[in-house]
Amino acid sequence: MSVERRSGTISAGRLSAEQLRENFCDLHPPMNPHEAAVEADRCYFCYDAPCMNACPTGIDIPLFIRQIAADNPNGAAKTIFDANIFGAMCARVCPTETLCEEVCVREVAEDQPVRIGMLQRYATDHLMETTTEHPFKRAAETGKRVAVVGAGPAGLSCAHRLSMHGHTVTVFEARQKPGGLNEYGIATYKATDDIAQAEVQWLLGIGGITIETDKALGRDIHLRDLTADYDAVFLGMGLAGVNALTAEGADSAGSSDAVGWIADLRQTTDLSQVPVGNRVVVIGGGMTAVDAAVQAKNLGADEVTIAYRRGKEAMSASGYEQEVAATRGVHLRYNLQPKRIHAENGDVTGITFEKTASDANGKLSATGEEVTLEADQIFKAIGQSFVPDSVAAEGAALTLDGGRIAVDDERKTSMDKVWAGGDCIAGGEDLTVVAVEDGKIAAESIHAALSA
């Protein structure tokens, strides 16, 4: 078998094109109209619905599901987009099992929540496929100009809402394409058919928004200039840094950051050209670790292990994500803390972990017992961090909190005319849907300030 020949190396083309296509197809094929009708009928149209309260963007979920049930999927989509302009992507990447679906009363009643995420996808896909007209109208021009830094979910959500209010927005994006993590940070099988770009283009349909790519804050543009040139600034540049691994040998060839690899995978046009190890170890416990591990398996790696330093319950990847990984053949191991990466001739050959244990207070300690896994490729997925260099010139004017930008309830920073949202701000969960809400709240605050 061809896999044997390539074992022990990091190489491309482990699987046939057909197998790759199958492995990277849509994680959840969209519902057809009949499935959607049946599922929509399950919704009880709860009063003050728990699902709606659990949604960071506060989508009127019972209403949109009722609209699907009443054969008005585009109306349902409008209800979703009213609250969350990234409704299509959120339908794909939201951890619904820990948000809306977790509190669905049918989850309480029968351990079987209404599949809200899938219904949301049904409605939003339907609107985007059946209409060319953008569903929102831009208010009359206000003559106000706002700069948005970062064309990710936070920035574009903010830009769209500002445009609705009639302001003119310029979005500066450091990368070559807009979309942020939707474009660069999500597993390929969760965002098929170039949905991230399609959604950005659809969102821009409102008009009044210009995106300038290859414009990084601190390099090509500067916050002080933006505050001088624009009526307001929104910072939504995410987390550019990757946490470093402190294990010995961490810089060996074959050891890399999962974030970069996931981004490369998303940008490749030919999956058979993406190299992957035969025995892959992913260090970490979040969605990034799962996305990297599952895709390594999908590319044809023989053995893929996720090693997480805490217990299963502490893992930030949801139970559902863990299940997806396990179902795809990823081995999940807990309480393993990386100690040494082994290499021969500079190439990774394995990794030694030390077992950990948590005490009654959740404090983690090493037990001294070691475990060594053979590996020819290691991905680090141990978190990302905000890189303050981009705003270093502003110094103390922009207050940070725990290494990220400090904001108030309206997402206003300590700097005059500057708001921020998304992963780059302190507090909150690093989720697409939270970033969208940040952008929306900031836009309303900016609009109020500009209208004053």
Partner 1 sequence: MADLSTNFLGIQSPNPFWLASAPPTDKQYNVERAFEAGWGGVVWKTLGEAGPPVVNVNGPRYGAIHGADRRLLGLNNIELITDRDLEVNLREMTETKKNWPDRVIIASLMVPCEEHAWKAILKRVEETGCDGVELNFGCPHGMSERGMGSAVGQVPEYIEMVARWCKENTDLPVIVKLTPNITDIRKPAEAAKRGGADAVSLINTINSITAIDLDSFAPEPTIDGKGSHGGYCGPAVKPIALSMVSEIARNPDTHGLPISGIGGITTWRDAAEFIALGCGTVQVCTAAMTYGFHIVQEMIAGLSNYMDEKGYASVEDFRGAAVPNVTDWQYLNLNYVTKARIDQDLCIKCGRCHIACEDTSHQAITHLVDGVRHFEVIDAECVGCNLCVNVCPVENCITMEQIAGIDPRTGKPADADYANWTTHPNNPAVREAAE
Contact positions vs partner 1 (CB under 8 A): 37-38, 41-42, 44-50, 105-106, 108-109
Alpha-helix residue ranges (DSSP H) falling in 230-382:
258-267, 287-298, 319-327
CB of 45 to partner 1, least distance (A): 7
Cα end-to-end distance, the chain, whole Å: 70
- CB nearer to partner 1: pick between 47 and 273: 47
Nearest to 29, CA basis, from 127, 97, 124, 121: 121
CB of 135 to partner 1, least distance (A): 22
CB of 41 to partner 1, least distance (A): 4
Beta bridge partners of 353: 338, 371
CB of 361 to partner 1, least distance (A): 28
3-state percent breakdown (helix, strand, coil) of the chain, nearest 5: 40, 20, 40
CB of 408 to partner 1, least distance (A): 25
User: What is the residue whose two structure tokens read 């490749």?
Assistant: 268
User: What is the residue whose two structure tokens read 């990757």?
Assistant: 242
- CB nearer to partner 1: pick between 108 and 139: 108
CB of 203 to partner 1, least distance (A): 32
- CB nearer to partner 1: pick between 44 and 246: 44
- CB nearer to partner 1: pick between 63 and 105: 105
- CB nearer to partner 1: pick between 105 and 250: 105
DSSP for 85-153 reads TTHHHHHHHS-GGGTHHHH-HHHHHHS----HHHHHHHHHHHHHHH--S-S--PPPP---EEEEE--SH
- CB nearer to partner 1: pick between 110 and 389: 110
CB of 111 to partner 1, least distance (A): 12
- CB nearer to partner 1: pick between 38 and 139: 38
Q: What is the DSSP letter of 31?
A: P
Residue 431 near residue 56, CB atoms below 8 Å: yes
Coil, strand or helix at 14 = coil
Would you state the structure tokens that stand for residue 361, as one six-digit string? 């207070």
Residue burial 360-382, b: 16+ Cβ < 10 Å; e: rest: eeeeeeeeeeeeebebbbbbbbb
